[in-house]
A and B are shown apart, each in its own frame.
Chain A
Amino acid sequence: GENVGLHLPTLSVQEGDNSIINCAYSNSASDYFIWYKQESGKGPQFIIDIRSNMDKRQGQRVTVLLNKTVKHLSLQIAATQPGDSAVYFCAETFSGNTPLVFGKGTRLSVIA
């Protein structure tokens, strides 16, 4: 399953499928990007980050892709599991003690 931008805030995928969550960030000067996962009633949990000198970074079952040309960030989750159901936020910042700017978030719903 794939959503485009932040205009479709809900993404439903079948268990076992791959998920792609997209984010259009706002500041072309941003050089550090983070994906957070937030489960209901909990604080955001760090998933993966990427710096602007990279265009791809892989973690365990997750991959972040960065396209600076179009200011686009995506999070790919392989073999999506029910425990992946949550709201996912991208956040951007510029080096030098600047605050994180969060996107609106995408709700991922995994169908068993």
Chain B
Amino acid sequence: NAGVMQNPRHLVRRRGQEARLRCSPMKGHSHVYWYRQLPEEGLKFMVYLQKENIIDESGMPKERFSAEFPKEGPSILRIQQVVRGDSAAYFCASSKSGVGTDTQYFGPGTRLTVL
């Protein structure tokens, strides 16, 4: 069974460009979560999506960040007009159901560097 897949693994962008991060959940999982991790810190929740629906986006910055999980294809985290402060590791996790007691399995992450 393939685990959670993320690509690209490393992404370099200049200030003002757009970053697109992709996440394919584990087979059979329809719930996707995005987290951001700064160096030497824990993961911070950003957004929780189910197919075609955003369930909880309480951790998403109000501007420049958006996420989607279409009926077909991977979940996308999009960051417009990136700034240096967006440099971080972005992790995606998936679970079979969305209740709080269902284990979330993480992908390898995308490390975004903004020059």
Do the two shown chains form a genuine complex with each other? yes
Residues of A within 8 A of B (CB): 31-32, 34, 36, 42-46, 49, 51, 89, 93-105
Asked whether B91 lies within 8 Å of A46 as measured between CB atoms, the reply is no
If A42-B109, A44-B91, A99-B59 touch, whether A104 touches B41 (CB-CB below 8 Å) is: yes
Give how many A-B residue pairs fall within 8 Å (CB-CB).
64
| Set of chain B residues within 8 Å of A34, measured between Cβ atoms | 103-104
Per-position 1/0 for B24-50, Cβ under 8 A of A: 000000000101000001111100100
Interface size on B, residues (CB 8 A): 26
Chain B minimum-CB-distance residue to A9: B40
Q: Report the minimum CB–CB distance from B64 to chain A (whole Å).
A: 20
Contact of B100 among A31, A43, A45, A102 (CB under 8 A): A31
**Chain A hits for B58, CB < 8 A:** 99
Q: How far is the CA of A44 from the CA of B94 in the complex (A)?
A: 12
- Show 8 residue pairs from A and B whose CB-CB distance is below 8 angstroms, ordered by the A residue: A31-B100, A32-B100, A42-B109, A46-B103, A98-B56, A98-B100, A99-B33, A101-B45
